[in-house]
Chains A and B, each alone.
Chain A
Amino acid sequence: MLEVQGLVTNYGMIEALKGVDISAAEGRITCVLGPNGAGKTTLLMTIAGLLRPRRGSVTFEGRDITAASSAAVVHQGLALVPENRLVFPDMTVRENLVAGAYTRLARNRGEAMADLDRMLERFPVLNARVNANAGTLSGGEQQMLAVARALMTKPRCLLMDEPSLGLAPLIVAEVFNIIRELNEDGVTILLVEQNAHMALTVAHHFFLLDQGLVAFDGDPGAMAEDEVIQRAYLGSAGG
Protein backbone atom coordinates (compact mmCIF):
# COMPACT_ATOMS: atom_id res chain seq x y z
CA MET A 1 0.00 0.00 0.00
CA LEU A 2 2.81 2.37 0.96
CA GLU A 3 6.19 1.90 -0.69
CA VAL A 4 9.30 3.89 0.15
CA GLN A 5 12.30 3.31 -2.13
CA GLY A 6 15.85 4.59 -1.81
CA LEU A 7 14.77 7.60 0.20
CA VAL A 8 17.50 10.16 0.90
CA THR A 9 16.49 13.20 2.98
CA ASN A 10 18.53 15.90 4.63
CA TYR A 11 17.46 17.29 7.96
CA GLY A 12 19.21 20.63 8.15
CA MET A 13 22.83 19.94 7.20
CA ILE A 14 22.69 16.28 8.18
CA GLU A 15 21.82 13.47 5.81
CA ALA A 16 19.22 11.84 8.05
CA LEU A 17 18.04 9.18 5.59
CA LYS A 18 20.70 7.53 3.45
CA GLY A 19 18.62 5.38 1.13
CA VAL A 20 15.74 3.83 3.02
CA ASP A 21 13.48 1.10 1.60
CA ILE A 22 10.43 0.24 3.64
CA SER A 23 6.86 -0.70 2.88
CA ALA A 24 3.58 -0.98 4.75
CA ALA A 25 1.18 -3.70 3.65
CA GLU A 26 -2.51 -2.94 3.41
CA GLY A 27 -4.50 -3.73 6.55
CA ARG A 28 -1.36 -4.37 8.58
CA ILE A 29 0.48 -2.66 11.41
CA THR A 30 4.07 -2.01 10.39
CA CYS A 31 6.50 -0.78 13.00
CA VAL A 32 9.75 1.12 12.51
CA LEU A 33 12.07 0.79 15.49
CA GLY A 34 15.31 2.64 16.05
CA PRO A 35 17.34 4.71 18.46
CA ASN A 36 17.15 8.49 18.76
CA GLY A 37 18.56 10.16 15.67
CA ALA A 38 18.11 7.09 13.48
CA GLY A 39 15.93 9.12 11.10
CA LYS A 40 12.52 7.75 12.09
CA THR A 41 10.82 11.13 12.39
CA THR A 42 12.52 12.38 9.22
CA LEU A 43 11.16 9.34 7.41
CA LEU A 44 7.57 10.02 8.46
CA MET A 45 7.87 13.75 7.77
CA THR A 46 9.17 13.02 4.28
CA ILE A 47 6.32 10.62 3.56
CA ALA A 48 3.79 13.18 4.85
CA GLY A 49 5.19 15.88 2.56
CA LEU A 50 6.63 18.12 5.28
CA LEU A 51 10.19 17.48 4.10
CA ARG A 52 11.41 17.12 0.53
CA PRO A 53 13.61 14.10 -0.22
CA ARG A 54 16.80 14.56 -2.23
CA ARG A 55 16.45 11.16 -3.89
CA GLY A 56 14.14 8.19 -3.86
CA SER A 57 10.40 7.77 -4.15
CA VAL A 58 7.27 7.40 -2.06
CA THR A 59 4.34 5.55 -3.60
CA PHE A 60 0.92 5.31 -2.00
CA GLU A 61 -1.71 2.98 -3.51
CA GLY A 62 0.25 2.97 -6.74
CA ARG A 63 0.41 6.76 -6.99
CA ASP A 64 3.71 8.62 -6.73
CA ILE A 65 3.49 11.14 -3.87
CA THR A 66 7.21 11.89 -3.56
CA ALA A 67 6.95 15.57 -4.41
CA ALA A 68 3.36 16.08 -3.21
CA SER A 69 2.57 18.85 -0.72
CA SER A 70 1.34 17.84 2.72
CA ALA A 71 -2.16 18.97 1.77
CA ALA A 72 -2.09 16.74 -1.31
CA VAL A 73 -0.84 13.80 0.78
CA VAL A 74 -3.70 14.28 3.25
CA HIS A 75 -6.08 14.40 0.31
CA GLN A 76 -4.77 11.02 -0.91
CA GLY A 77 -5.78 9.41 2.38
CA LEU A 78 -2.53 9.41 4.33
CA ALA A 79 -2.38 11.12 7.73
CA LEU A 80 0.45 11.63 10.22
CA VAL A 81 0.04 11.82 13.99
CA PRO A 82 3.14 13.89 14.73
CA GLU A 83 5.71 13.38 17.46
CA ASN A 84 4.81 15.33 20.61
CA ARG A 85 1.19 15.37 19.38
CA LEU A 86 1.29 19.06 18.29
CA VAL A 87 -2.32 19.82 19.16
CA PHE A 88 -3.47 23.42 18.62
CA PRO A 89 -3.13 24.56 22.24
CA ASP A 90 -5.40 27.63 22.18
CA MET A 91 -8.18 25.97 20.25
CA THR A 92 -10.87 23.86 21.88
CA VAL A 93 -10.96 20.08 21.46
CA ARG A 94 -13.86 20.51 19.07
CA GLU A 95 -12.00 23.12 17.00
CA ASN A 96 -8.96 20.84 16.83
CA LEU A 97 -11.16 18.14 15.33
CA VAL A 98 -12.77 20.61 12.92
CA ALA A 99 -9.26 21.60 11.81
CA GLY A 100 -8.59 17.92 11.13
CA ALA A 101 -11.61 17.87 8.82
CA TYR A 102 -10.44 21.08 7.12
CA THR A 103 -10.05 19.67 3.62
CA ARG A 104 -13.47 18.01 3.82
CA LEU A 105 -15.39 21.02 5.18
CA ALA A 106 -15.58 22.76 1.82
CA ARG A 107 -16.84 19.69 -0.02
CA ASN A 108 -19.18 18.05 2.45
CA ARG A 109 -19.69 19.93 5.68
CA GLY A 110 -22.57 17.77 6.87
CA GLU A 111 -20.60 14.55 6.59
CA ALA A 112 -17.59 16.08 8.34
CA MET A 113 -19.75 17.25 11.24
CA ALA A 114 -21.37 13.82 11.54
CA ASP A 115 -17.88 12.31 11.68
CA LEU A 116 -16.98 14.76 14.42
CA ASP A 117 -19.87 13.53 16.56
CA ARG A 118 -18.87 9.93 15.90
CA MET A 119 -15.27 10.74 16.85
CA LEU A 120 -16.41 12.23 20.17
CA GLU A 121 -18.44 9.10 20.83
CA ARG A 122 -15.44 6.93 20.13
CA PHE A 123 -13.16 8.96 22.42
CA PRO A 124 -15.19 9.63 25.60
CA VAL A 125 -12.13 11.34 27.15
CA LEU A 126 -12.37 14.00 24.46
CA ASN A 127 -16.13 14.26 24.69
CA ALA A 128 -15.82 15.08 28.37
CA ARG A 129 -13.57 18.04 27.58
CA VAL A 130 -14.92 19.03 24.19
CA ASN A 131 -14.98 22.76 24.94
CA ALA A 132 -11.69 22.91 26.83
CA ASN A 133 -8.62 24.37 25.20
CA ALA A 134 -6.39 21.56 23.97
CA GLY A 135 -3.40 23.05 25.81
CA THR A 136 -5.08 22.27 29.14
CA LEU A 137 -5.41 18.54 28.37
CA SER A 138 -3.14 15.91 29.93
CA GLY A 139 -0.49 14.22 27.80
CA GLY A 140 -2.66 11.15 27.27
CA GLU A 141 -5.69 13.21 26.34
CA GLN A 142 -3.59 15.23 23.90
CA GLN A 143 -2.38 11.99 22.28
CA MET A 144 -6.01 10.85 21.88
CA LEU A 145 -6.84 14.23 20.41
CA ALA A 146 -3.91 14.06 17.97
CA VAL A 147 -5.07 10.62 16.83
CA ALA A 148 -8.70 11.74 16.55
CA ARG A 149 -7.66 14.86 14.64
CA ALA A 150 -5.69 12.76 12.15
CA LEU A 151 -8.66 10.39 11.80
CA MET A 152 -10.88 13.34 10.92
CA THR A 153 -9.01 13.50 7.59
CA LYS A 154 -10.48 10.01 6.89
CA PRO A 155 -7.14 8.33 6.22
CA ARG A 156 -6.77 4.83 4.80
CA CYS A 157 -3.23 4.80 6.15
CA LEU A 158 -2.17 6.34 9.44
CA LEU A 159 1.44 7.25 10.23
CA MET A 160 2.14 7.49 13.97
CA ASP A 161 5.30 9.02 15.40
CA GLU A 162 6.10 7.69 18.88
CA PRO A 163 2.56 7.78 20.30
CA SER A 164 3.81 6.40 23.63
CA LEU A 165 6.34 9.20 24.20
CA GLY A 166 6.11 10.67 27.69
CA LEU A 167 2.94 8.82 28.66
CA ALA A 168 2.26 6.75 31.79
CA PRO A 169 2.28 2.96 31.20
CA LEU A 170 -1.47 2.65 31.70
CA ILE A 171 -2.12 5.35 29.08
CA VAL A 172 0.40 3.75 26.72
CA ALA A 173 -1.57 0.50 26.91
CA GLU A 174 -4.73 2.43 26.10
CA VAL A 175 -3.10 4.11 23.10
CA PHE A 176 -1.96 0.74 21.76
CA ASN A 177 -5.48 -0.64 22.24
CA ILE A 178 -6.75 2.16 20.04
CA ILE A 179 -4.06 1.40 17.45
CA ARG A 180 -5.21 -2.23 17.40
CA GLU A 181 -8.89 -1.23 17.11
CA LEU A 182 -8.17 1.20 14.28
CA ASN A 183 -6.32 -1.52 12.45
CA GLU A 184 -9.24 -3.92 12.93
CA ASP A 185 -11.44 -1.23 11.35
CA GLY A 186 -9.27 -1.51 8.25
CA VAL A 187 -6.80 1.36 8.68
CA THR A 188 -3.25 0.52 7.61
CA ILE A 189 -0.78 1.71 10.23
CA LEU A 190 2.87 2.67 10.01
CA LEU A 191 4.09 3.08 13.56
CA VAL A 192 7.39 4.56 14.70
CA GLU A 193 8.32 3.51 18.22
CA GLN A 194 11.10 3.23 20.73
CA ASN A 195 9.00 1.10 23.03
CA ALA A 196 9.78 -2.26 21.36
CA HIS A 197 7.90 -4.31 23.96
CA MET A 198 4.64 -2.52 23.32
CA ALA A 199 5.22 -2.54 19.57
CA LEU A 200 5.70 -6.33 19.67
CA THR A 201 2.17 -6.72 21.03
CA VAL A 202 0.54 -5.11 18.01
CA ALA A 203 2.79 -5.00 14.96
CA HIS A 204 2.75 -7.51 12.09
CA HIS A 205 6.03 -6.44 10.56
CA PHE A 206 9.16 -4.69 11.75
CA PHE A 207 11.88 -2.51 10.33
CA LEU A 208 14.90 -1.37 12.30
CA LEU A 209 16.32 1.97 11.29
CA ASP A 210 19.86 2.78 12.35
CA GLN A 211 21.82 5.87 11.31
CA GLY A 212 19.63 6.49 8.31
CA LEU A 213 19.66 2.90 6.97
CA VAL A 214 17.41 -0.12 7.36
CA ALA A 215 19.26 -2.58 9.60
CA PHE A 216 16.53 -5.20 9.95
CA ASP A 217 13.43 -6.19 8.04
CA GLY A 218 11.26 -9.07 9.24
CA ASP A 219 8.24 -10.33 11.10
CA PRO A 220 7.88 -10.28 14.92
CA GLY A 221 9.12 -13.88 15.21
CA ALA A 222 12.36 -13.13 13.40
CA MET A 223 12.77 -9.95 15.37
CA ALA A 224 12.42 -11.63 18.76
CA GLU A 225 15.19 -14.02 17.69
CA ASP A 226 17.56 -11.43 16.26
CA GLU A 227 20.51 -11.16 18.61
CA VAL A 228 21.29 -7.48 18.05
CA ILE A 229 17.70 -6.44 18.61
CA GLN A 230 17.56 -8.72 21.65
CA ARG A 231 20.37 -6.88 23.32
CA ALA A 232 19.55 -3.33 22.20
CA TYR A 233 15.78 -3.21 22.43
CA LEU A 234 14.33 -6.08 24.37
CA GLY A 235 16.89 -6.48 27.16
CA SER A 236 19.21 -9.48 27.54
CA ALA A 237 16.50 -11.53 29.22
CA GLY A 238 14.60 -11.58 25.92
CA GLY A 239 11.10 -10.48 24.95
Chain B
Amino acid sequence: MSDFWWDVIDPIQSVLDGVMFGSIYALIGIGFTLIFGVMHKINLAYAAASIGGAYASLAAFQLLSAPALVVFLCAAVASGVIGYAVYICCFRFIPEHLPLATLMASVGMLILIDEVVVHATAGMPEPYPAMFDDVMIDLEPFWVRGDLLMIFVLSVIAMMILLYILYRTRLGIATRAVAQQPAAAQLCGIGQQNTNAVTFIITGALGGLAGAMVGASVGILSPLLALPLTVKGLIVTVIGGLGSIPGAIVAGLLVGGFENVFQYFRGVTERDIYVMLLLFVFLTFRPQGLFGRMSTRD
Protein backbone atom coordinates (compact mmCIF):
# COMPACT_ATOMS: atom_id res chain seq x y z
CA MET B 1 0.00 0.00 0.00
CA SER B 2 1.13 3.53 -0.70
CA ASP B 3 2.34 5.91 1.98
CA PHE B 4 -0.71 8.08 1.46
CA TRP B 5 -2.96 5.20 2.41
CA TRP B 6 -1.09 4.67 5.64
CA ASP B 7 -1.50 8.36 6.43
CA VAL B 8 -5.28 8.33 6.17
CA ILE B 9 -6.01 5.03 7.91
CA ASP B 10 -5.61 6.40 11.41
CA PRO B 11 -7.77 9.54 10.89
CA ILE B 12 -10.50 7.41 9.34
CA GLN B 13 -10.23 5.01 12.24
CA SER B 14 -10.68 7.87 14.68
CA VAL B 15 -13.70 9.16 12.76
CA LEU B 16 -15.25 5.69 12.97
CA ASP B 17 -14.61 5.46 16.70
CA GLY B 18 -15.96 8.98 17.17
CA VAL B 19 -19.13 8.36 15.21
CA MET B 20 -19.87 5.28 17.30
CA PHE B 21 -19.26 7.20 20.52
CA GLY B 22 -21.31 10.06 19.06
CA SER B 23 -24.42 7.89 19.35
CA ILE B 24 -24.32 8.82 23.04
CA TYR B 25 -24.39 12.50 22.12
CA ALA B 26 -27.28 11.71 19.81
CA LEU B 27 -29.24 10.20 22.72
CA ILE B 28 -28.60 13.25 24.90
CA GLY B 29 -29.47 15.55 22.00
CA ILE B 30 -32.74 13.67 21.44
CA GLY B 31 -33.58 14.20 25.11
CA PHE B 32 -33.05 17.94 24.94
CA THR B 33 -34.85 18.24 21.62
CA LEU B 34 -37.86 16.13 22.61
CA ILE B 35 -38.51 18.15 25.75
CA PHE B 36 -38.10 21.33 23.73
CA GLY B 37 -40.47 19.98 21.08
CA VAL B 38 -43.20 19.19 23.59
CA MET B 39 -42.85 22.10 26.02
CA HIS B 40 -40.84 24.69 24.05
CA LYS B 41 -38.54 24.85 27.02
CA ILE B 42 -34.96 23.80 27.67
CA ASN B 43 -34.29 21.41 30.54
CA LEU B 44 -30.68 22.19 31.46
CA ALA B 45 -30.68 19.56 34.20
CA TYR B 46 -31.10 16.80 31.63
CA ALA B 47 -27.48 15.63 31.19
CA ALA B 48 -26.81 15.94 34.93
CA ALA B 49 -29.87 13.76 35.59
CA SER B 50 -28.44 11.23 33.14
CA ILE B 51 -25.14 11.07 35.01
CA GLY B 52 -27.08 11.01 38.29
CA GLY B 53 -29.03 7.98 37.08
CA ALA B 54 -25.82 6.24 36.11
CA TYR B 55 -24.51 6.89 39.63
CA ALA B 56 -27.68 5.49 41.15
CA SER B 57 -27.20 2.33 39.10
CA LEU B 58 -23.79 1.88 40.73
CA ALA B 59 -25.71 0.53 43.71
CA ALA B 60 -26.83 -2.43 41.59
CA PHE B 61 -23.22 -2.95 40.54
CA GLN B 62 -21.55 -2.57 43.93
CA LEU B 63 -24.16 -4.20 46.17
CA LEU B 64 -25.50 -6.93 43.88
CA SER B 65 -22.57 -7.15 41.44
CA ALA B 66 -25.16 -7.27 38.67
CA PRO B 67 -23.98 -7.77 35.08
CA ALA B 68 -23.28 -4.65 33.01
CA LEU B 69 -26.48 -4.81 30.96
CA VAL B 70 -28.62 -4.94 34.11
CA VAL B 71 -26.67 -1.99 35.52
CA PHE B 72 -27.40 -0.04 32.33
CA LEU B 73 -31.11 -0.79 32.64
CA CYS B 74 -31.03 0.32 36.28
CA ALA B 75 -29.46 3.59 35.14
CA ALA B 76 -32.28 4.09 32.63
CA VAL B 77 -34.94 3.47 35.30
CA ALA B 78 -33.22 5.70 37.85
CA SER B 79 -32.86 8.55 35.36
CA GLY B 80 -36.50 8.17 34.39
CA VAL B 81 -37.43 8.70 38.04
CA ILE B 82 -35.07 11.69 38.30
CA GLY B 83 -36.56 13.06 35.07
CA TYR B 84 -40.03 12.95 36.62
CA ALA B 85 -38.73 14.68 39.76
CA VAL B 86 -37.15 17.40 37.60
CA TYR B 87 -40.47 17.88 35.82
CA ILE B 88 -42.38 18.22 39.08
CA CYS B 89 -39.84 20.57 40.68
CA CYS B 90 -38.88 22.78 37.74
CA PHE B 91 -41.67 22.69 35.14
CA ARG B 92 -45.02 21.49 36.40
CA PHE B 93 -46.02 24.42 38.59
CA ILE B 94 -44.21 27.32 36.93
CA PRO B 95 -46.56 29.31 34.67
CA GLU B 96 -46.04 28.81 30.97
CA HIS B 97 -45.38 32.48 30.24
CA LEU B 98 -42.28 32.53 32.46
CA PRO B 99 -39.77 30.50 30.41
CA LEU B 100 -36.81 32.12 32.17
CA ALA B 101 -38.07 30.86 35.54
CA THR B 102 -38.13 27.26 34.32
CA LEU B 103 -34.72 27.68 32.73
CA MET B 104 -33.18 28.94 35.97
CA ALA B 105 -34.99 26.26 37.98
CA SER B 106 -33.43 23.60 35.75
CA VAL B 107 -29.99 25.19 36.20
CA GLY B 108 -30.55 24.95 39.95
CA MET B 109 -31.49 21.30 39.53
CA LEU B 110 -28.33 20.68 37.49
CA ILE B 111 -26.20 22.08 40.33
CA LEU B 112 -28.22 20.20 42.97
CA ILE B 113 -27.81 16.82 41.23
CA ASP B 114 -24.12 17.54 40.74
CA GLU B 115 -23.67 18.41 44.42
CA VAL B 116 -25.56 15.35 45.63
CA VAL B 117 -23.31 13.15 43.51
CA VAL B 118 -20.15 14.88 44.71
CA HIS B 119 -21.17 14.51 48.36
CA ALA B 120 -22.29 10.90 48.01
CA THR B 121 -19.00 9.85 46.41
CA ALA B 122 -16.68 12.33 48.14
CA GLY B 123 -15.92 13.62 44.65
CA MET B 124 -13.88 10.52 43.78
CA PRO B 125 -14.42 8.74 40.45
CA GLU B 126 -16.06 5.34 40.75
CA PRO B 127 -15.31 2.34 38.51
CA TYR B 128 -18.19 1.53 36.16
CA PRO B 129 -18.75 -1.85 34.51
CA ALA B 130 -17.94 -2.11 30.84
CA MET B 131 -19.09 -4.61 28.25
CA PHE B 132 -16.96 -6.12 25.48
CA ASP B 133 -14.11 -3.79 26.39
CA ASP B 134 -11.60 -6.56 25.62
CA VAL B 135 -13.12 -7.35 22.21
CA MET B 136 -11.52 -6.05 19.03
CA ILE B 137 -13.06 -6.88 15.69
CA ASP B 138 -10.53 -6.90 12.86
CA LEU B 139 -11.93 -5.43 9.66
CA GLU B 140 -8.69 -5.03 7.72
CA PRO B 141 -7.41 -2.31 7.66
CA PHE B 142 -9.66 -0.99 10.45
CA TRP B 143 -10.46 -2.12 13.96
CA VAL B 144 -13.85 -1.96 15.59
CA ARG B 145 -13.67 -1.62 19.35
CA GLY B 146 -16.11 -3.99 21.02
CA ASP B 147 -17.24 -1.52 23.67
CA LEU B 148 -17.88 1.23 21.12
CA LEU B 149 -19.80 -1.16 18.89
CA MET B 150 -21.93 -2.12 21.88
CA ILE B 151 -22.62 1.55 22.64
CA PHE B 152 -23.61 2.13 19.05
CA VAL B 153 -25.88 -0.92 18.89
CA LEU B 154 -27.57 -0.13 22.23
CA SER B 155 -28.11 3.48 21.15
CA VAL B 156 -29.65 2.42 17.86
CA ILE B 157 -31.96 0.01 19.69
CA ALA B 158 -32.97 2.76 22.15
CA MET B 159 -33.65 5.17 19.27
CA MET B 160 -35.74 2.59 17.45
CA ILE B 161 -37.81 1.96 20.56
CA LEU B 162 -38.31 5.70 20.95
CA LEU B 163 -39.35 6.15 17.31
CA TYR B 164 -41.71 3.19 17.64
CA ILE B 165 -43.32 4.80 20.69
CA LEU B 166 -43.60 8.17 18.93
CA TYR B 167 -44.99 6.94 15.62
CA ARG B 168 -46.85 3.74 16.40
CA THR B 169 -48.52 4.14 19.79
CA ARG B 170 -51.31 6.12 21.42
CA LEU B 171 -48.75 7.75 23.68
CA GLY B 172 -46.77 8.84 20.63
CA ILE B 173 -49.85 10.41 19.05
CA ALA B 174 -50.39 12.36 22.28
CA THR B 175 -46.76 13.49 22.46
CA ARG B 176 -46.65 14.71 18.88
CA ALA B 177 -50.08 16.32 19.15
CA VAL B 178 -49.05 18.32 22.23
CA ALA B 179 -45.79 19.31 20.52
CA GLN B 180 -47.47 20.51 17.33
CA GLN B 181 -50.64 22.13 18.58
CA PRO B 182 -51.10 22.14 22.37
CA ALA B 183 -54.56 23.75 22.40
CA ALA B 184 -55.95 21.35 19.80
CA ALA B 185 -54.40 18.40 21.67
CA GLN B 186 -56.37 19.42 24.77
CA LEU B 187 -59.52 19.65 22.66
CA CYS B 188 -58.93 16.02 21.66
CA GLY B 189 -58.94 15.14 25.36
CA ILE B 190 -55.18 14.72 25.57
CA GLY B 191 -53.93 15.76 28.99
CA GLN B 192 -51.08 18.17 28.43
CA GLN B 193 -49.51 17.75 31.85
CA ASN B 194 -49.60 13.96 31.75
CA THR B 195 -48.01 14.02 28.32
CA ASN B 196 -45.29 16.39 29.52
CA ALA B 197 -44.57 14.19 32.54
CA VAL B 198 -44.34 11.05 30.42
CA THR B 199 -41.99 12.85 28.02
CA PHE B 200 -39.68 13.67 30.93
CA ILE B 201 -39.73 10.04 32.08
CA ILE B 202 -39.01 8.64 28.62
CA THR B 203 -36.24 11.12 27.82
CA GLY B 204 -34.89 10.54 31.35
CA ALA B 205 -34.61 6.81 30.68
CA LEU B 206 -32.89 7.53 27.38
CA GLY B 207 -30.43 9.83 29.15
CA GLY B 208 -29.78 7.28 31.88
CA LEU B 209 -28.75 4.78 29.24
CA ALA B 210 -26.50 7.41 27.67
CA GLY B 211 -24.97 8.26 31.05
CA ALA B 212 -24.33 4.58 31.79
CA MET B 213 -22.63 4.14 28.42
CA VAL B 214 -20.42 7.18 29.01
CA GLY B 215 -19.35 5.54 32.26
CA ALA B 216 -18.84 2.19 30.58
CA SER B 217 -16.76 3.57 27.72
CA VAL B 218 -14.48 5.56 30.03
CA GLY B 219 -14.49 2.80 32.64
CA ILE B 220 -15.25 5.26 35.44
CA LEU B 221 -18.01 7.64 36.50
CA SER B 222 -17.06 11.10 37.63
CA PRO B 223 -19.20 14.09 38.59
CA LEU B 224 -17.00 16.02 36.17
CA LEU B 225 -18.83 14.30 33.30
CA ALA B 226 -22.10 16.20 33.82
CA LEU B 227 -21.15 19.63 32.54
CA PRO B 228 -19.30 18.55 29.35
CA LEU B 229 -22.19 16.22 28.54
CA THR B 230 -24.66 19.10 29.01
CA VAL B 231 -22.62 21.29 26.68
CA LYS B 232 -22.24 18.56 24.04
CA GLY B 233 -25.93 17.75 24.24
CA LEU B 234 -26.90 21.38 23.73
CA ILE B 235 -24.45 21.73 20.83
CA VAL B 236 -25.93 18.63 19.21
CA THR B 237 -29.45 20.00 19.73
CA VAL B 238 -28.58 23.34 18.14
CA ILE B 239 -26.68 21.81 15.20
CA GLY B 240 -29.46 19.30 14.58
CA GLY B 241 -32.17 21.93 14.80
CA LEU B 242 -34.25 22.49 17.94
CA GLY B 243 -37.11 20.04 18.10
CA SER B 244 -35.84 17.72 15.37
CA ILE B 245 -35.12 14.11 16.34
CA PRO B 246 -33.46 13.13 13.02
CA GLY B 247 -31.41 16.31 13.41
CA ALA B 248 -30.24 15.29 16.87
CA ILE B 249 -29.24 11.83 15.61
CA VAL B 250 -27.23 13.14 12.64
CA ALA B 251 -25.69 15.97 14.67
CA GLY B 252 -24.73 13.58 17.49
CA LEU B 253 -22.83 11.31 15.12
CA LEU B 254 -21.33 14.34 13.36
CA VAL B 255 -20.07 15.91 16.58
CA GLY B 256 -18.74 12.55 17.79
CA GLY B 257 -16.72 11.92 14.61
CA PHE B 258 -15.63 15.54 14.38
CA GLU B 259 -14.28 15.77 17.93
CA ASN B 260 -12.48 12.46 17.69
CA VAL B 261 -10.63 13.29 14.49
CA PHE B 262 -9.51 16.57 16.01
CA GLN B 263 -8.46 14.73 19.14
CA TYR B 264 -6.32 12.55 16.87
CA PHE B 265 -4.69 15.53 15.15
CA ARG B 266 -4.55 18.11 17.94
CA GLY B 267 -4.82 16.18 21.19
CA VAL B 268 -7.52 15.95 23.83
CA THR B 269 -6.83 19.41 25.28
CA GLU B 270 -7.58 21.22 22.03
CA ARG B 271 -10.42 18.96 20.92
CA ASP B 272 -13.34 20.99 22.23
CA ILE B 273 -12.04 24.20 20.66
CA TYR B 274 -12.86 22.70 17.29
CA VAL B 275 -16.26 21.48 18.43
CA MET B 276 -17.07 25.05 19.51
CA LEU B 277 -15.80 26.24 16.15
CA LEU B 278 -18.20 23.82 14.45
CA LEU B 279 -21.05 25.24 16.55
CA PHE B 280 -19.95 28.75 15.62
CA VAL B 281 -19.98 27.88 11.91
CA PHE B 282 -23.49 26.48 12.25
CA LEU B 283 -24.81 29.43 14.23
CA THR B 284 -23.42 31.79 11.61
CA PHE B 285 -24.37 30.03 8.40
CA ARG B 286 -27.25 27.77 9.38
CA PRO B 287 -28.71 29.03 12.65
CA GLN B 288 -31.85 26.90 12.30
CA GLY B 289 -29.66 23.77 12.35
CA LEU B 290 -29.58 20.81 9.99
CA PHE B 291 -33.26 19.87 10.13
CA GLY B 292 -34.78 22.82 11.92
CA ARG B 293 -37.19 25.39 10.60
CA MET B 294 -36.67 29.10 10.90
CA SER B 295 -39.78 29.44 12.99
CA THR B 296 -41.81 26.63 14.47
CA ARG B 297 -44.04 28.52 16.84
CA ASP B 298 -47.30 29.97 15.71
Q: Which residues 144-183 of B have a CB within 8 angstroms of A?
A: 170, 173-174, 176-177, 180-181, 183
Contact A75 B189 (CB under 8 A): yes
Contact with B along A85-96 (1 / 0, CB 8 A): 011111100010
Q: Does A50 contact B (CB under 8 A)?
A: yes
Q: How many residues of A are counted as interface, with CB atoms below 8 angstroms from the partner's CB atoms? A: 29
Specify which of A80, A82, A102 is in contact with B170 (CB 8 Å cutoff): A102
Q: Does B275 contact A (CB under 8 A)?
A: no
Contact A105 B180 (CB under 8 A): no
The residues of A that contact B173 with a CB separation of less than 8 Å are 91, 95, 98-99, 102
Closest to A12 in B: B97
Closest to B193 in A: A69
Q: Which residues 180-195 of B have a CB within 8 angstroms of A?
A: 180-181, 183-191
Shortest A125–chain B CB gap in Å is: 19
Shortest B260–chain A CB gap in Å is: 34
Q: Does A168 contact B (CB under 8 A)?
A: no
The residues of B that contact A80 with a CB separation of less than 8 Å are 187
Q: Does A153 contact B (CB under 8 A)?
A: yes
Q: How many residues of B are counted as interface, with CB atoms below 8 angstroms from the partner's CB atoms? A: 16
Shortest A87–chain B CB gap in Å is: 7
Contact A91 B177 (CB under 8 A): yes
Contact with B along A71-110 (1 / 0, CB 8 A): 1001100011010001111110001001110110110000
Q: Which residues 196-242 of B have a CB within 8 angstroms of A?
A: none
Contact A88 B187 (CB under 8 A): no
Closest to A109 in B: B170
The residues of B that contact A106 with a CB separation of less than 8 Å are 170
Contact with B along A202-224 (1 / 0, CB 8 A): 00000000000000000000000
The residues of A that contact B183 with a CB separation of less than 8 Å are 50, 82, 86
The residues of A that contact B186 with a CB separation of less than 8 Å are 49-50, 70-71
Contact B188 A102 (CB under 8 A): yes
Distance between Cα atoms of A82 and B173 in the complex (Å): 19
The residues of A that contact B189 with a CB separation of less than 8 Å are 70-71, 74-75, 102-103, 153
Shortest A191–chain B CB gap in Å is: 16
Q: Does A48 contact B (CB under 8 A)?
A: yes
Contact A69 B191 (CB under 8 A): yes
Contact B184 A87 (CB under 8 A): yes
Contact B190 A71 (CB under 8 A): yes
Distance between Cα atoms of A90 and B166 in the complex (Å): 13
Q: Does A40 contact B (CB under 8 A)?
A: no
The residues of A that contact B185 with a CB separation of less than 8 Å are 88, 99
18 more contacts with CB within 8 A, not counting A48-B187, A80-B187, A102-B188, are A71-B190, A74-B188, A75-B189, A82-B183, A86-B181, A88-B176, A88-B184, A89-B180, A90-B180, A91-B173, A91-B176, A91-B177, A95-B173, A95-B176, A99-B174, A99-B185, A103-B188, A105-B170
Residue numbers of A with Cβ under 8 A of B are: 48-50, 69-71, 74-75, 79-80, 82, 86-91, 95, 98-100, 102-103, 105-106, 149-150, 152-153
Residue numbers of B with Cβ under 8 A of A are: 170, 173-174, 176-177, 180-181, 183-191
A-B contacts, 7 of them at CB < 8 A, read A50-B183, A82-B183, A91-B177, A95-B173, A95-B176, A99-B177, A102-B189
